Structure 1
Amino acid sequence: MRVSCPAGWCVVVVSMVSMFGLWGMANADDEQTPRRWQPLITEGLPTARHEAAFVECGGRFYLLGGRRLNPVDIFDPETNTWTQGAKPPIEIHHFQPVVWEHRIWLAGAMTGRYPHETPIDRILIYDPRTDEWSWGSDIPTDRRRGGAGAVIHDGGLYLVCGIRNGHWDGWVNWLDRFDLATKQWQQLPDAPRVRDHFQAAVVDGKLYAAGGRKTSGISKEVFSLTIPEVDVFDISTGTWSTLPEEGNLPTPRAGCFAMSLEGKLLIAGGESSTQKQAYSEIESFDPESMQWETMSTFSVGRHGTGIVYWDGALYTCAGSGGRGGGPELNTTETLRLKK
């Protein structure tokens, strides 16, 4: 086996391969054991941060936002190299990024300090081609919130649920659509329940709201009110439904990250009052069989970041390794799905 690596790193890489197997394939023969992600040795490191976002655009991965005013960290998966980009105009955290026309759009984000963070009043846009930030359209005053799920589908940016008053109160079950061509907002039917600190995903034309919680600092229940139910919005019919009880998220948690992958819904990482460590589980839901499974686990649990699929592999980085604000991580992990 040939291992290609920068000078001085080969001993470490060979050691990792011998310990874990190449690209996380050590458990490939044991179908009952979830595959474990592997630490990725990189040139340079991203800024340690949490309540941030991680997204792919144009073959590069972008780590944005988080507590404090952080630069954009940019990862090249061809060279396993991290570099830095521009800082945003303000502190941004608790948001799910979406990509449209080669730019990264941020809606439903918060700014400010715990526990009364405030929603950002406009869409914020980062252009990787120029390494520049710009302000987009206003978000209607009476629909502003943070910690919301955001997805792109058929020319629209969908913003679902969230919280209006940081970690204190003001939970909403709203669903709004922003037409990316006309720049107009449209209010859609409310979700069956409130939730915040989660991410949404679209699978086969349906928007899934899974994970999250009702963050209630006002009642001293910041972490405990996690939501197991999965709510589904059929975009074509404009109607909501809730999966039957057997379709509940097996590991209820917030601060988790979502994505659609090969017709399945993935929910990864997160935090809750049940354990001090962040969750390492990546659970996969198959809408056809209506079954959940634990498809893999991070080597280090984390919340408050994101997950990326690129060229047959999954990636994550940064986030918090424990419930709440720390320890903040600057590590990168990967799981090879296809040879």
Structure 2
Amino acid sequence: MKRSTFLILSAFVFFSGFSQAQESGQIIETVNSPTARHECGAVAFDNQLFLIGGRGIKHVEIFNPKTNSWKKAGKTPFEIHHFQPVVYGNEIYILSAFTGKFPRETPLEKVWIYNPKDDKWREGPVIPENRRRGGGGALTVGDKIYVAGGIIDGHHSGTIPWTDVFDPKTGKWVELSDMPHRRDHTVAVGDDQYMYLLGGRTTDYHEEDNYGAFMAKTINKVDRFNFSTGKWDTLAEDLPVATAGAGAVMIKGKIYYMGGETGQVAAHNEIQVYGINTRKWEIKGSLERGRHGTQPVVIGGKMYIAAGSGNKGGGPELSSTEAVALH
């Protein structure tokens, strides 16, 4: 091969690789570490990551990306797990969550609200008795909070396709149309046009099964709710690797879905990316440590994800923090 040809091919390989950069996670060194936990919630607020809840009663812990440091705030008022927290105004809301021990965990009866400035919790409105669940997705859009999916009876039965909208100003709940695929251990992302429900499973226990057989009952369909029409549809492209208990964010016309659990022992580490315009999924990289039961956030052009479980089920609980650069 001539030297000039070699150089051209080398340049092509280099720039091709560069244009297809992988969005892979890297565990970072931090000042302090979060408490090892899983089935917790994470949300970005005031350019910091707030890690909340999980099995047992845990401190709220706050990560500052500018200093790569963690600090502790107060504890949750009781055990809260299996939820996706959302920001409304200057507070953090929890609307679909469990309390109690595996496998018959109990849905919360009320909305719970955390004020980061005061480091205080308060009770919100009562959740209608016939719409209580944990493990659903939640999303703030404008002045409303949407909740979809979940399960009624812990890890035993009652996976549902419900969709509801909650008005924080009035405390009222309104039932909307059911999604096409019932699912729990799911996550919601969206913009002012659509809400997307990704991943999850049907956690239905049957007498002929052992507890844990439901781990493999994951959902690869992605359902989409149209805020204008109030109707659901399903994307033509399935999630390449369907998992439950994963996390997701939506930014710059892309959905990033990562981690989760299935029937395999190790928690998943794939970072799967959906282009809103291309309508295609790609596996773009991986987390350094597979994890489920936690969620990523975006701060300053990077994704951060912390804690979670390294295998399916309850352990090992992790205390590491990963950063994922966005390309």
Fold match, TM over 0.5?
yes
Rate the CA distance shift 1:80–1:199 in 2: closer, same or farther, 3 A: same
Aligned with residue 269 of structure 2, among 269, 280, 295: 280
Map of 2:9 onto structure 1: none
Q: 2:48·2:299 contact (CA, 8 Å) conserved in 1?
A: no
| Cα deviation, residue 204, structure 1 | 5.2
Matches within 5 A, 1:85-100: 85-100=73-88
Aligned partners of 2:123 and 2:301: how far apart in 1?
Answer: 34
Q: 1:72·1:85 contact (CA, 8 Å) conserved in 2?
A: yes
**Higher deviation after alignment, 28-37 or 87-96:** 28-37
Map of 2:26 onto structure 1: 38
**What are the superposed Cα offsets for residues 264-305 of structure 1, whole Å, 9 maximum, x if unpaired?**
2221110001x2111111111112221001222110010001
Map of 1:71 onto structure 2: 59
- Amino acid in the other structure paired with 1:163: I
Task: Work out whether 1:254 is the aligned partner of 2:244.
Answer: yes
Q: 2:151·2:159 contact (CA, 8 Å) conserved in 1?
A: yes
Map of 1:293 onto structure 2: 282
Map of 1:58 onto structure 2: 46
Aligned partners of 1:331 and 1:28: how far apart in 2?
Answer: 32
- Amino acid in the other structure paired with 2:73: G
SS of 2:160's partner is: strand
Q: 2:266·2:310 contact (CA, 8 Å) conserved in 1?
A: yes
Map of 1:167 onto structure 2: 155
Aligned partners of 2:136 and 2:306: how far apart in 1?
Answer: 21
Q: 2:23·2:325 contact (CA, 8 Å) conserved in 1?
A: no
Q: 1:115·1:217 contact (CA, 8 Å) conserved in 2?
A: no
**What are the superposed Cα offsets for residues 107-143 of structure 1, whole Å, 9 maximum, x if unpaired?**
1000111110010011111111011111111110000
Q: 2:50·2:60 contact (CA, 8 Å) conserved in 1?
A: yes
Map of 1:329 onto structure 2: 318
- Amino acid in the other structure paired with 1:74: I
Task: Work out whether 1:315 is the aligned partner of 2:304.
Answer: yes
SS of 1:99's partner is: strand
- Amino acid in the other structure paired with 1:160: A
Q: 2:24·2:284 contact (CA, 8 Å) conserved in 1?
A: no
Q: 1:203·1:264 contact (CA, 8 Å) conserved in 2?
A: no
- Amino acid in the other structure paired with 1:263: G
Map of 1:187 onto structure 2: 175
Task: Work out whether 1:269 is the aligned partner of 2:245.
Answer: no
Rate the CA distance shift 1:298–1:312 in 2: closer, same or farther, 3 A: same
Map of 1:231 onto structure 2: 223
Aligned partners of 1:78 and 1:249: how far apart in 2?
Answer: 33
| Cα deviation, residue 32, structure 1 | 5.2
Q: 1:203·1:265 contact (CA, 8 Å) conserved in 2?
A: no
Identity %: 41
| Cα deviation, residue 193, structure 1 | 1.7
Map of 2:93 onto structure 1: 105
- Amino acid in the other structure paired with 2:230: G
Map of 2:186 onto structure 1: 198
Once superposed, what is the RMSD of the aligned Cα atoms?
1.6
Q: 1:64·1:71 contact (CA, 8 Å) conserved in 2?
A: yes
Aligned partners of 1:279 and 1:240: how far apart in 2?
Answer: 28
Rate the CA distance shift 1:337–1:289 in 2: closer, same or farther, 3 A: closer
| Cα deviation, residue 31, structure 1 | 4.8
Q: 1:265·1:284 contact (CA, 8 Å) conserved in 2?
A: yes
SS of 2:130's partner is: helix
- Amino acid in the other structure paired with 1:261: I
Task: Work out whether 1:135 is the aligned partner of 2:112.
Answer: no
Aligned partners of 2:106 and 2:216: how far apart in 1?
Answer: 22
Aligned with residue 80 of structure 1, among 68, 75, 88: 68
Q: 1:27·1:34 contact (CA, 8 Å) conserved in 2?
A: no
Q: Structure 2 stretches of 5 or more lacking a match?
A: 1-13
- Amino acid in the other structure paired with 1:324: G
Aligned partners of 1:96 and 1:78: how far apart in 2?
Answer: 24
Q: 2:23·2:326 contact (CA, 8 Å) conserved in 1?
A: no
